[in-house]
Amino acid sequence: MSKYITTPIYYVNGEAHIGHAYTTFIADTMTRYEKLKGNDTYFLTGTDEYGQKIEESAQKAGKPTQEFADEMSATFKTLWDNFDICYDKFIKTTDEDHKIGAQKAFEVMYAKGDIYKDFYEGHYCVSCETFFPETQLVDGEFCPDCGRTTSVVKEESYFFKLSKYEDKLLKLYENQPDFILPRSRANEVINFVKGGLHDLSVTRTSFTWGVKIPASLNDDKHVMYVWLDALLNYITALGYGKDDANMKYWPASTQFVGKDILRFHAIYWPAFLMSLDLPLPKHIAAHGWWTRNGEKMSKSKGNVIAPKDVADVYGAENLRYFMLREVPFGQDGDFSQRAFIDRINSELSNDLGNLLNRIIGMSSKYSDFEIDSVDVEKYHSKELDAMNETLASLDGFMQKMQTHRYLEELWKLFVIGNKAIEEHAPWVKMKEDKKDEALGTVALVANILAKASIMLSPIMPKTTATIADALNFKINNDSYKKLICDKKLLKLFNIKKVPPLFPRVEEPLMQEAPKAMPDDKPNDKMKEELLQKDDSGLIEIGQFFETSLKVGTIVEAEEVPKSKKLLKIQVDLGEESPRQVVAGIKEFYSAESLPGTQVCVVANLKPAKLMGMMSEGMLLAAKDEEGLCLVRPEKPKKAGTPIG
């Protein structure tokens, strides 16, 4: 089966930071996962180089625009190369082939009557490359997305008949409920479309740094609106309009984007494709936003994290692991060195690294490094069953991009391995002259490590290749089929010593960002100020809306053993699976009384561990001297209904 996976093409007006890296890591992971399973997979990334914003950045840098774009684009490419991102193509929108493809697409849409010429007058934000109606401006002047000043622009323009596709788009969201992932994000898109779509201005005459519209239109003062040419990159990269050889990969299986550009990908993009009579992508998967220590990253604050700086001190693959493990796909995430260090020490070093060292140590003592799986089934059928069950559950998580759950489950294998060692104590068995049993346990753990490495390889390809080398096998589709699909065990081999894979980290290795300096650029500050408390202690409405409150329906509730206060509750928030919330309400509510009732949930809290259990939200409750009561909607509402 063939697959096609894409990242957004990144603007070249600034260097990549960990937000860009996150998107690229997930797409790379998914590609490696599909390849591991034997699927012919094509992976595209690249840079978005046209538009007024890039032209202005080049002017500021005092460079010709193309030279500036080439240099900046190269910084992205080098970065991804340093991270071993396995892209098949790195597209630059200034590539000749891209221009040809984009012009061809424009011609097709025009010939179909979906593009027509008219005049446009509106408020334009250069930074977002977007027009806004006056009603959406902040204080009648500022861009609602980035806070920068907009300017009034009146120009002749070609328009794309977006309004024509309103019903078709609504049908798409209905018939293909996984078109937008996570599903919880679909509502904002559907509501936007239901609010009515205006035709989209798709050319500009106020600047020249763009793809010219086709010569056949004989109107060479128009260049394409950057979002039109940018979105088309996903097909021009496959040769659309030129050499169609790679169009066999279309439609894309998963197109990863950040939530900031979901609207472009879930509305404009399918409408363009419908106009071109091309099939639609299977999934547009939108992830959340990364902050640093809870703050938005911005150049003016000096707190932008360059992926290379992190990789240099903490390790490139540790960073991939952390980012994919830390955040449920779709939710916002925070980069804090403390959280990163905790995961390196407890999960990578303790759980995984130590397990490998333990069996290398034991096999060197008991069997001169020889490992044989012959006695594993005899002594460890229980562990093998548990291991196979866990392995079988993994695919479902990856298909839904839930890398955090995938890794959480995968880590259960190391618990099985460690527990088997404790319970069977091979060192005791050796003393009791039960060498077969001792070696059976060592071999069980070797097999656990081998299978876990295969499944971890899309996230940590190099590290797992080292583990596989120690276990004398290679990670590829063959070993995946044998060890994972056919549940086979490793053949007799000699284990090799490896250098420590995950040295413990004792203290933060990077300097924390300085606090914002008073000479911050006013434009960048503007939005921050909108979001900050003023002296009155009052907050802006935007601050309130940063908290995502939703109606939830309790599906299950159970007592937490040994806790006087806590209940473990599964709440349906209209997402793929219920969320687990651990709430301190046991003194006021019995577990049996809760299922089927509704609650109000803070849905975008960072997940936290309470008594070792993950809690992914908070229930709203009111408490006074008479006790506590949960806040509930007055009438039943659909699970996931936003409150606000």
Q: Does 567 bind ligand ME8 (CB under 6 A)?
A: no
Q: Considering the complex, what minimum distance in angstroms separates the CB of residue 45 from ligand ME8?
A: 10
Q: Does 50 bind ligand ME8 (CB under 6 A)?
A: no
Q: Which of 238, 327, 318 is nearest to 291 (CA)?
A: 327
Radius of gyration of the chain (CA): 27
The count of C-alpha atoms lying within 13 angstroms of the C-alpha of 555, restricted to the half-sphere facing its C-beta, is 12
Task: Please identify which residue in the block is written with the tokens 């056919």.
Answer: 486
Q: Considering the complex, what minimum distance in angstroms separates the CB of residue 321 from ligand ME8?
A: 17
Q: Does 394 bind ligand ME8 (CB under 6 A)?
A: no
Pick the binder of ligand ME8 from 22, 159, 322, 406 (CB under 6 A). 22
Site string for ligand ME8, 201-230 (x = CB under 6 A): -----------------------------x
Q: Does 569 bind ligand ME8 (CB under 6 A)?
A: no
Report in angstroms the alpha-carbon separations of 221 from 51, 117, 211, 227.
14, 13, 11, 18
Question: At residue 13, what is the residue type?
Answer: N
Q: Which of 75, 55, 77 is nearest to 64 (CA)?
A: 55
Q: Does 10 bind ligand ME8 (CB under 6 A)?
A: yes
Q: Considering the complex, what minimum distance in angstroms separates the CB of residue 329 from ligand ME8?
A: 12
Cβ closest to ligand ME8, residue 274 vs residue 430: 274
Q: Does 20 bind ligand ME8 (CB under 6 A)?
A: yes
Determine the Cα–Cα distance for residues 509 and 180; give it in Å rounded to an integer. Answer: 38
Cβ closest to ligand ME8, residue 91 vs residue 355: 91
Q: Considering the complex, what minimum distance in angstroms separates the CB of residue 334 from ligand ME8?
A: 10
Q: Does 76 bind ligand ME8 (CB under 6 A)?
A: no
Pick the binder of ligand ME8 from 290, 340, 397, 502 (CB under 6 A). 290
DSSP codes, 323-365: HHHHS-TTS-EEE-HHHHHHHIIIIIIIIIIHHHHHHHHHHHH
Q: Does 289 bind ligand ME8 (CB under 6 A)?
A: yes
Touching ligand ME8, residues 442-461 (CB under 6 A): none
Determine the Cα–Cα distance for residues 180 and 211; give it in Å rounded to an integer. Answer: 29
Cβ closest to ligand ME8, residue 264 vs residue 411: 264
Say if CB 613 and CB 568 are below 8 A apart.
yes
Pick the binder of ligand ME8 from 3, 19, 421, 557 (CB under 6 A). 19
Cβ closest to ligand ME8, residue 260 vs residue 556: 260
Q: Does 322 bind ligand ME8 (CB under 6 A)?
A: no
Q: How many other C-beta atoms are found inside a 10 Å radius of the C-beta of residue 204?
A: 26
Determine the Cα–Cα distance for residues 583 and 568; give it in Å rounded to an integer. Answer: 7
Say if CB 241 and CB 262 are below 8 A apart.
no
Q: Does 420 bind ligand ME8 (CB under 6 A)?
A: no
Secondary structure of residue 73 in the 3-state scheme: helix
624 CB burial (10 A radius; 0-12, 13-18, 19+): exposed
Size of the site for ligand ME8 (CB under 6 A): 19
Touching ligand ME8, residues 361-380 (CB under 6 A): none
* Interacting span for ligand ME8 (CB under 6 A) from 7-15, 368-376, 486-494, 508-516: 7-15
Q: Which of 6, 65, 429, 409 is nearest to 246 (CA)?
A: 6
The residues pairing with 48 across neighbouring beta strands, listed in sequence order, are 11
Pick the binder of ligand ME8 from 97, 156, 260, 576 (CB under 6 A). 260
Q: DSSP alpha helices (H): ranges in 37-113?
A: 52-61, 65-82, 96-111
Q: Considering the complex, what minimum distance in angstroms separates the CB of residue 121 from ligand ME8?
A: 25
Cβ closest to ligand ME8, residue 233 vs residue 318: 233
Cβ closest to ligand ME8, residue 476 vs residue 523: 523
Write out the residues near ligand ME8 by the rule CB under 6 A.
Answer: 8-11, 19-20, 22-23, 48, 230-231, 233, 257-258, 260-261, 289-290, 297
